[in-house]
Amino acid sequence: MPTKRQVVRLIAIALVICSIYLTWRWFDSKEWLRDVGMLFHQPQWLIFMFIVYLLSFVLKAGAWRIYAGPEVRFGIYFHAISYSLLVNHVLPVKVGDAVRAGLFMKYGGKSWEEAFHSVAVMRLLDMLVLAGIGGIGIVRLGLPSSWIWVTVLAGGTLILATAHYLPVIRKIPFVAKHSAYFHLKMLSGKGGVIIGLISLSWVLEAGVIFAVVRMIGLQLGAIYLVWANSMTIAGQIFHITPGGIGTYESAMSGSLALLGVDGKDAYRAALVSHTFKFLFAYSLGGCSLLSMPLHWREMKTWINRVKGQIKPSSHGNARKDD
């Protein structure tokens, strides 16, 4: 029986192969440069994309701060997310969350356990929101797998809502402790605000593909593009290349094609929107590097810690420089 990691890797490879096929069939360097040039020849759309994408990360940082605590200044949350975005667009493996947790630990005065818990919860909520948007869209489109999405989403929500009360969870002190904190936060009035901010952040991020399809002359409703963006971002769990090159193009092209967009136009839109996101990630990450410098040694230590190559206890919570 293949392991979960092997299944994920096989799906990721399949998506990359699909992207290679799309590139072989439709990629034209001159057309790509012309499409990217539209971003600068129509500055109103470029400004719009930059603002909505930036605001989406501001809202994610705000949601994280509500969950983890207002005693840490907002800039630390924001720069931690910025670093995560940069690392995921530089390395072929998705380890940005390790750097995100490490920066929060270092500058936020938190233990590694506290920092990583909050990052993991934010990622979990991201995926739940994306799954919710994706499921609603799939049901609305009437795709054959609709019932599977509804069942999985409902089951996942039920497990999260009741996990703290399950005997198996209560028997494991470490898990019970984090589960209790999660329920304390999410079942309070703050939980609705956190979910609302995260949901709105993903709606705003869809503004990037909205602008791109308008620039290349496609007419798709904003709600459908929110769905396409959510499906594409959810597909980044199969990230095996810098920035999800290949998986992003395959997922976005496929989602737009399901909405009735011509295959070549769907690929063009995916390519241009991904190009913008790369430029944004490097620009925002560069600003964070200047504002809150980190050394590669630090980031590598945090990445190794998450990968299980370094035991948390070997460094101790008191050290904030590792």
Name the token pair of 302.
């945090």
pLDDT at 319 over 50: no
Read off the DSSP letter of residue 123: H
Task: Please tell me the predicted confidence (pLDDT) of residue 309.
Answer: 39
Read off the DSSP letter of residue 188: S
Instruction: Please answer whether residues 112 and 62 qualify as being in contact, where contact means their C-beta atoms are separated by less than 8 angstroms.
Output: no
pLDDT at 245 over 90: no
CA 89/CA 87 separation, integer angstroms: 5
CA 266/CA 141 separation, integer angstroms: 18
Q: What's the pLDDT band for 17 if we cut at 50, 70, 90? A: confident
Among 134, 124, 119, which residue's Cα sits nearest to residue 251? 134
CA 75/CA 85 separation, integer angstroms: 15
Residues 222-230, mean pLDDT to the nearest whole number? 91
CA 88/CA 65 separation, integer angstroms: 22
Distance of CA 320 to the CA centre of its chain: 26
Distance of CA 186 to the CA centre of its chain: 20
Model pTM? 0.82
Extract the runs of DSSP E, i.e. beta strands, from 101-155: none
Residues 252-270, mean pLDDT to the nearest whole number? 89
pLDDT at 124 over 90: no
pLDDT at 111 over 80: yes
CA 65/CA 78 separation, integer angstroms: 9
pLDDT at 300 over 80: yes
Residues 249-276, mean pLDDT to the nearest whole number? 90
